[in-house]
Every structure is written in C-alpha cells, then in structure tokens.
Structure 1
Amino acid sequence: MSDHRLPRELSRLFADGGRGRKLPVTLPPGEVVWPDPGYTGQGPAARPAFWMSDDPVSGADWTRLREWHSHSGLWPVLLDESAQPWAVGQVVPDDSRQIEHFTAEGFMTEVWQEWVVQMPKDALEELDPYGAICPGPAAPGTLRAEPGAVADWLAGELAVRDMPLGLVAANRSADALVVMGWQGALHHNEWMVPMAAVVRSWEDRFGARVVSVGFNTLELSVAAPPVDPEHALHVAAEHWTFCPDNVVQGPGDLEAYAEQLVGRHAWSFWWD
C-alpha cells in the first residue's frame, strides 16, 4: 500500500502534505508550478498552485486520474495554450473555503443589475423575455448519464488538441479554478471565487465538471443539460451573467444562444 502514496512533488500541493492520500497511477514527466510573486503581488506562496505535465496527455490519461480523485484529492484539468500563463506562474491561487460565502443566485442578481444599468434601452431586447428583471437560477436538469462518464467523454474530445495535464488539490472540480488561480475571466470579474460558486451550483444542478481551461476559456462537461427550449432559455440567462461574451459576441441574444444549449453535453466559455 505504501507504493500508492502520493509522489513527493504532489504532496506539496496540500497544506497537510497529502496525508492519507494515494494515487496508484503512473504519472508522465512533469513538475509543480509556483505562482509568480511579481504577478500575484502577494509575496512568495506557501505551496505550489498545481502540478503540470511536460507533454500533452491523452483522454485516457485524464480519465485514469479523474477516477482516482476521491482517493488522491487531485482534480485533472487539461491546460490549453500551454506556453502562457501556466509555465510562468501567472496565476493567483486562493482559498477554496471562501467559495462557501457566495451563491449562484447572488452572483447572477448582482451582475444582471450592474449590466442592465449600463445597457442602452434598445439593447435590452437581447435579454428577452426577461429584460431588466433577473430570472434567478434555472431549475436543475435531469441526469442523462453519469457525470464522470460525460467528463471522460469531453476530455477525450479535447485531448486531440495536444494539451498538457494539470493536477489541482481540490475537493471538487469547481474548486480547482480557485486553487490553481485561473485568471481566464479576469476582464469580466476580477475575483474567481464568486464565479466558482456558480460552477459549484452547475455541478449540483446540471452534473457539470471542469475539464479544461485556457488563457481565457473554460470547458465544462454537462450530464444534465436542458432538453426543452424554455429551460434552455433560463440557463442561457445564467450563462449571460457568467460570460456575456458568449452571447453578445456569439448569436447576439438569449433566445438564439439558448438554441445551442438544448441537449448539449458540453458548455464552452470564452472571455474577450
């Protein structure tokens, strides 16, 4: 059983040194990534932000590590655009316990109010049928498959892009965004913690899982997507507050964007 203990470099990701955790999976060559003190402005970090493989991995590699998450405490993330910011530590890790102080409803309401005030009145048509009134979070979806299996499927689809693997010391996939210090949505929301609360809620309501992150992109698997237009429209309203660029620079309004969500098992987000 001792052979299953976390390698020393992975143990450093945990505040307790990874006590009691195990990972009987052979890892590819890689190393831990430390936050750049000059980038964070917070001085030297107490521990690395995450571990990163030297070379691209396969979807099967991702799946093996995902299956052992409950024992290792390490969530796998495919890292798109590997040269930046991962390799140079341009990340700002935070304490995932802070996520508990935020809710998807609170985030959605606050963003809706702020953006509606700034929008020209004629632009409110983009938000039909809701307009200036935030509808709040959508009802949960119905599971169409096991969330882990859908995450494995999406990892296999994305791995063809030849991405390295990140391993993050996180209890759930949403928390990985905060722990690793991902900054992809910086131009929309400066602090990742409230947005991770939204992703946690999507985990619970839609069987979502974080599979990949890029410089300004996020890929989620979805095991319980909306399957009717009305539900999809409500979910689209959530997506608008989470990532306005998806709607504004995509189809242009909620109704057209919602059509893309019906029955879809992958949600992609991109911030300008």
Structure 2
Amino acid sequence: MVINPNALGLELPPGTVRVQPSYWYADEHATSGTWSRLMPAREAAGLQPLLLAEPRTLHPSQVDDPDDHDAAAILAGLWREIQQEADDDEDGEAADALIEPFTRAWPGLAPAGPPGTDPDAVAARVAAGLAEGDEWLKEARGALVPARRSADILAVLGWGGAAEHTDAVRLSAVLRSWEERFGIRLVGLGPDLLVVSVAAPPRAPDDALALAAEHYAFCPDAVWQDYDSLREYAAEEVLNRHQWTFWWD
C-alpha cells in the first residue's frame, strides 16, 4: 500500500514517498519538533511517525506477520539460543554469571509496568531529545510508515538491522507485547539500532530485573558488551527509564 501524506492536507515538511517498502521520508534532518509535527498523520491515515536514519537496511520482501508469533515463545527461544552460542564459544560460565539470579531456563515475561503517562507524549519528548543530540541518530529524518501500530514498523519496513540475531517480524511481535505492558513507541531507527520510548517503565528493582532478561533475549549485544550482569543493566537501563536503546553488532 502506498499512501501519499502530502495529499492529506497536513502541514508536513518537504518530503518524498518511497516504495518497496512504502513510506514517506523527509528531505531534511529531524529537529526537536519533527515527531510532534508528524503525529497528526497517524490519526488522518494510519501513518506511524518515526525518526529514520540510513534506510539502506530495509528489506520489504518478508511475507511473515507478527500476528503469527507469540512474544513469550520468541523470547524463550532466543534465550536458549544465547546460552547455546555461549557454550559453542566456550563462554558458558561467563554467560551463566551474567544472567544470575536466573538460570538457563527461560524465566518468563516480566509483569506490566504501573500506569504511566500518555505514551505519545513520552514518545514526543524522547524523539525531541534524539533529534537534538543523539550521536547515533543525528542524521535521522522524519518518516511516516503505513503500519497498524508503532510496534509493526519493523515488520512493515523489513528492517534488517538485527538479521544475524533474529528477523524484523519477530522483533515486532516482542515490541507489541512491550506496547501493551509498558506503553512503548518505536521512535528511532538506524542501520543496526532502535530506540523506544517507555510510558510505564518498571518501578521496582525486581520487576526491572525480570524485564532485563527480556532485553537480553531481544538484544544480547546491548547487555553483555557494556555490563557485567543483568542486575547492573537493569539498574542502569531499565528501572524508571523512559528510553530503551538496542543495538546489534
């Protein structure tokens, strides 16, 4: 489906409609107000706002659908794969120490966060901060993607930034679960990086630790390359945090 947002009468910055995959892409780099300026297109035409950098990793040939996948099953499978890869690399003991107090058995999904503020308001604030000074997304431009919900953007675009770990459709299925439990929005996307805003992050250390296990399954690079333990990661990156950043080597 190709939708031209420039024909909707919205006050959008200059931009171009792309096809294969279909999305609208601004001509100029994003500013702090870009996200808020794009938001009306969601209500008008179901176009999800996004700060998009380096669209070369988009591969729309995927025919799978997030509807066909369960987030808990995906995370459990990825959790097992990480442990197996560590054994194959003879890093099993280090991997076991990293995930303490959890074991190699998948611990299950974390509880939902407490009621938070409006997810779109949080997303606008996070997006403004990214546009103003994020090192990885400083070249990002505003984009509009014809997706049913923010979590589906990865699947619709066929994003390949985590292809060596898992595919975009499965990542979208996990993001859907985080939308429902924590009020996330996908706000920034680069070649191998994604940023989500979080309206209802965990407020208790144990809940943050449980969610850190999900993050590790979703994106192990963001944990083990910068932190010695899931506890440390949970305290620094999950507890009360309104922005989560994931990147894949």
The alignment's TM-score, normalised by the length of structure 1, stands at 0.81
| 1:139-154 alignment, distance < 5 Å | 139-154=111-126
Partners of 1:26 and 1:94 lie apart in 2 by: 32
Query: Could you tell me whether the CA contact under 8 Å between 1:213 and 1:219 is conserved in 2?
Result: yes
Please tell me whether Structure 1 or Structure 2 has the larger radius of gyration of its CA atoms: 1
Q: Which letter maps to 1:136?
A: G
Per-residue Cα deviation, 1:52-85 (whole angstroms, up to 9, x for no partner): 11111323231132244122111111013xxx3x
User: Within 5 A, what are the aligned runs for 1:62-77?
Assistant: 62-77=35-50
Specify the alignment match of 2:239 in structure 1: 262
Q: Which has the higher contact order (CA 8 A, sep 6+)?
A: 2
Aligned residues: 237
8 Å Cα contact 2:49/2:143 also seen in 1? yes
Paired with 1:138 and 1:23, the residues of 2 have a C-alpha distance of: 41
8 Å contact from structure 1 (residues 96, 179) kept in 2: no
SS in 1 for 2:197: strand
Ranges in structure 2 where 5+ consecutive residues have no aligned partner: 133-137
- Measured against aligned partners, the alpha-carbon deviations of 1:142-163 in whole angstroms (never above 9, x if no partner) come to 1221101000111111111352
| Distance (Å, rounded) in 2 between the aligned partners of 1:158 and 1:228 | 26
How far did residue 224 of structure 1 move? 0.5
1:204 aligns with 2:169: no
One-letter code aligned to 1:149: A
Asked if structure 2 preserves the Cα contact closer than 8 Å seen for 1:62 and 1:165, the reply is yes
CA pair 251-93 structure 1, distance change in 2 beyond 3 A: same
One of 4, 26, 32 as aligned partner of 1:59: 32
1:92 matched residue in structure 2: 59
Gaps of 5+ in 1: 1-11, 36-47
Cα gap change, 1:94/1:140 in structure 2, threshold over 3 Å: closer, same or farther? farther
More displaced 10-residue stretch of structure 1: 90-99 or 218-227: 90-99
| Correspondences of 1:66-215 after superposition (within 5 Å) | 66-80=39-53, 84=54, 86=55, 89-93=56-60, 98-119=65-86, 120-123=91-94, 124-160=96-132, 161=138, 163-189=140-166, 191-215=167-191
Is the contact between residue 59 and residue 155 of structure 1 (CA under 8 Å) also seen in structure 2? yes
Q: Kindly provide the CA deviation profile for residues 167-216 of structure 1, in whole angstroms up to 9, marking residues without a partner as x.
A: 10011101111112211111211x21111100010000000000010111
Q: 1:264 to 1:253 in 2, by over 3 A?
A: same
**Cα pair 1:13 1:168 within 8 Å, conserved:** no
Q: Which letter maps to 1:112?
A: W
Q: What is the alpha-carbon distance in structure 2 between the residues aligned to residue 249 and residue 241 of structure 1?
A: 14
Aligned-partner Cα distance in 2 for 1:214–1:194 = 18
Cα distance in 1 for partners of 2:46, 2:81 equals 37
Task: Tell me the CA shift for residue 94 of structure 1.
Answer: 5.4
Tell me how far 1:90 sits from its aligned partner. Answer: 4.3
Aligned AA for 1:138? A
Cα distance in 1 for residues equivalent to 2:37 and 2:115: 23
Distance across 1 between alignment mates of 2:163 and 2:65: 18
SS at match of 1:59: coil
Distance in 1 (CA, whole Å) between partners of 2:62 and 2:92 is: 39
2-structure distance, mates of 1:97, 1:163: 27
